[in-house]
Structure 1
Amino acid sequence: MDRINITETFAGISYPGHLHTRESLKLAQDFQFQDTDIVISTFPKSGTVWMQEILTLICSKGDSLVAETVPNWVRAPWLEHTYFRETVQENGGLRIITTHLPYDILAPALKNSKAKVIYMARNPKDVAVSYYHFHKFAKFLPEPGTFGDFLDRFLNGKVHYGSWFQHVKSWLRHQENASFFFITYEDMHWDLRGSIEKLCGFLNCSLSSEELDSVEQHCSFNRMSQNSMVNCTLISPEIMDHSKGKFMRKGIAGDWKQHFTVAQNSLFDHIYQEEMCHCKHRFHTALD
């Protein structure tokens, strides 16, 4: 298991060494985006795979063949991963590229292109819970300890990929840019069809009613959770111990209520207010 217990540090942020090297992170920083690229940016456990699936189906006009036969890490590869250069197409044409990197690292490269960026965020309480469960079975991530221990590290930005607060703020400062589209996990839960239509508008991709039906159908949680191209069951148990959890666990909003104590919730709200007081967007912590 290559570099499974290694932590890589880049620009003050730690990353799992199994997926990243200093060289791969530097290549990501210096990557030359094409004007036709579509970039998905997220903090981990914020609906990344969901967006990859939606964009795959939009770009294929609702045809599910690619989504059901090609792994998501091949059709929408992670920019900063070690395998990216071997996977990304270099022959022009539309490319979907995924990243968990903060804006500041990618800013020089993005400013020199007209690539369209879709930033997807999720309310941080659910992110913390989902990330905690992911640590339980992803062997390339540190042992999480108790949920309380993990939550403390999450709030202090001491987890892999850094601070949720800083990541979100770094990208949202640029949401007025015409090439930038912001959407939340909760938006898509409230109105998946409407969210797909908005994404189509941003991408200048017109779909018929039947094609939209197909995108919506194939991008439901139940459908994706059974699709081995996205549910991570293709990944070796030496890397993800599937006996200890599921990559696609619940796919709901508000699960944090089953994990947070009153004191933890109060502390989280306090830190959130301090960190996000100047942020225009207010994240919904439930759908009710």
Structure 2
Amino acid sequence: MAERLKYPYEIKQVTEEEDKLAKKYYKGYIRPFIRVGPHGYFWMAGFGDHAEDIYNLEVRPDDIWVVAFSRSGTTWLQELVWLIANNLDYDGASSTSLSARYSFIEFPTQAPEIRKEKPPSGQKHHSATVNDFRNLHTLPSPRFIKTHLPLSLLPPKLLDTAKVFYVARDPRDVAVSFHYMHQLFRYFDEGVEFTEFWELFKKDLLIHMPIFPHIEEAWAKRDHRNMMFLFYEEMQKNILSVIDKVSEFLNKEYSTEQKEKLAKHLSFENMKKSSQFNFGKTADKESEIKFLRKGKSGNWINYFNTEELRKEANDYIEKHIKNSDLRFPEIN
């Protein structure tokens, strides 16, 4: 058995002022929120309890990991990768939920400390995950693993051992989708306005934040033989090209007809019809509190709906990428 590694990063409580502000919105948390590592990733205290356990997870050579900041196209990429890796087993995909096919390893660490009702869904037994870091070691290979943790907080031998997919998305679109996710899963009350959420986003007072170091950690490893770095916008613009890249990365070959069928299966409208992903306020067509909302890039401009907010959003991006070669693809 491999020697257990000591956790290399500082875990400290946020300031009293930050904790008070976060608890104004995040419901059901008693202990102070924390920041982890040199980038100060913001998490619930529960993550601190198990950060070392996750860091020491055994990685197998036939594991497939999907890593992303939340609301960046994780679900879309998970479905694509699983089907390509499993010889286009549509029956298996439809009969087994994505939350059972992938282990969302850190999910239990996000739980509120005051128990609350589960979010409403279109399914009686909807759950974010069936397996997590606690029983990952018991699962048969090949394992499919999902996480919103940045690479630095994952097992250090991950990239040298297993295949890793990372998907990134324009942070302005992420901010909008993240806002509605917080309401969907009842982290926040439905009455919280987007402008309030944006203030927390800028202050890195939301789970998984800050977003730019999260993306840049993976961007720096994009040329590693076991890393496939993708953009959400790239998937939206030319999903067939992405299917080709993923197939090659996983040493799979499919005919043009098979790839076109997969592209159709992965269309936003088709996935939105699936009971696996169709939950939230589905009866209210106007509501955006749904798991799959619009699936569009550049739609952020409709939520940053004043000149001042749009300038602020653009300045936010420019400030964080000016010293990097990271650029997000534009979609007309």
Q: Secondary structure of the residue that 2:161 maps to in structure 1?
A: coil
Whole-Å Cα distance in 1 between the matches of residues 279 and 51 of structure 2?
Answer: 23
Q: Secondary structure of the residue that 2:34 maps to in structure 1?
A: strand
1:249-288 equivalences in 2 (<5 Å):
249-260=293-304, 261-284=306-329, 286-288=330-332
1:42 positional shift: 0.5
Aligned residue in 1 for 2:43 = 15
Higher relative contact order (CA 8 A, sep 6+): 1
1:230 counterpart = 2:277: yes
Segments of structure 1 that go 5 or more residues without pairing to the other structure are 234-242
Q: Secondary structure of the residue that 2:156 maps to in structure 1?
A: helix
Q: Secondary structure of the residue that 2:107 maps to in structure 1?
A: coil
Opposite residue 28 of structure 2, the aligned amino acid is N
In structure 2, the CA distance between the partners of 1:87 and 1:230, relative to structure 1 (3 Å rule), is farther
In structure 2, the CA distance between the partners of 1:266 and 1:200, relative to structure 1 (3 Å rule), is same
1:279 positional shift: 2.3
Whole-Å Cα distance in 2 between the matches of residues 21 and 272 of structure 1?
Answer: 28
Whole-Å Cα distance in 2 between the matches of residues 271 and 220 of structure 1?
Answer: 31
1:70 counterpart = 2:115: no
Whether contact under 8 Å (2:59, 2:155) holds in the other structure is no
Which digits, 9 at most, give the CA deviation of each residue in 1:92-119, with x for residues without a partner?
Answer: 53222111001211152425x4211111
Q: Secondary structure of the residue that 2:154 maps to in structure 1?
A: helix
Aligned residue in 2 for 1:60 = 86
In structure 2, the CA distance between the partners of 1:143 and 1:262, relative to structure 1 (3 Å rule), is same
1:197 counterpart = 2:222: no
Whole-Å Cα distance in 1 between the matches of residues 50 and 274 of structure 2?
Answer: 29
**What is the identity percentage for the equivalent residue pairs of Structure 1 and Structure 2?**
27
Whole-Å Cα distance in 1 between the matches of residues 84 and 44 of structure 2?
Answer: 31
Whole-Å Cα distance in 2 between the matches of residues 118 and 42 of structure 1?
Answer: 8
Instruction: After superposing the two structures, state which structure 1 stretch, 223-232 or 146-155, moved more.
Output: 223-232
Aligned residue in 1 for 2:28 = 5
Aligned residue in 1 for 2:166 = 119
Segments of structure 2 that go 5 or more residues without pairing to the other structure are 1-25, 109-130, 281-286
Instruction: After superposing the two structures, state which structure 1 stretch, 74-83 or 41-50, moved more.
Output: 74-83
Q: Secondary structure of the residue that 2:271 maps to in structure 1?
A: helix
In structure 2, the CA distance between the partners of 1:231 and 1:34, relative to structure 1 (3 Å rule), is farther
Normalised by the length of structure 1, the TM-score is 0.85
1:248 counterpart = 2:296: no
Whole-Å Cα distance in 2 between the matches of residues 130 and 183 of structure 1?
Answer: 19
Instruction: After superposing the two structures, state which structure 1 stretch, 270-279 or 122-131, moved more.
Output: 270-279
1:135 positional shift: 1.7
Opposite residue 255 of structure 1, the aligned amino acid is N
Q: How many residues align?
A: 274
Q: Secondary structure of the residue that 1:84 maps to in structure 2?
A: coil
Whether contact under 8 Å (2:106, 2:132) holds in the other structure is yes
1:55-204 equivalences in 2 (<5 Å):
55-82=81-108, 83-85=131-133, 88=136, 90=138, 92-106=140-154, 108-110=156-158, 113-141=160-188, 145-204=192-251
Normalised by the length of structure 2, the TM-score is 0.75
1:24 positional shift: 4.3
In structure 2, the CA distance between the partners of 1:141 and 1:22, relative to structure 1 (3 Å rule), is farther
Whole-Å Cα distance in 1 between the matches of residues 310 and 318 of structure 2?
Answer: 12
Whole-Å Cα distance in 1 between the matches of residues 165 and 313 of structure 2?
Answer: 27
Whether contact under 8 Å (1:56, 1:66) holds in the other structure is no
Whole-Å Cα distance in 2 between the matches of residues 66 and 204 of structure 1?
Answer: 20
1:164 positional shift: 1.0
Whole-Å Cα distance in 1 between the matches of residues 55 and 188 of structure 2?
Answer: 23
RMSD (Å), alpha carbons: 2.6
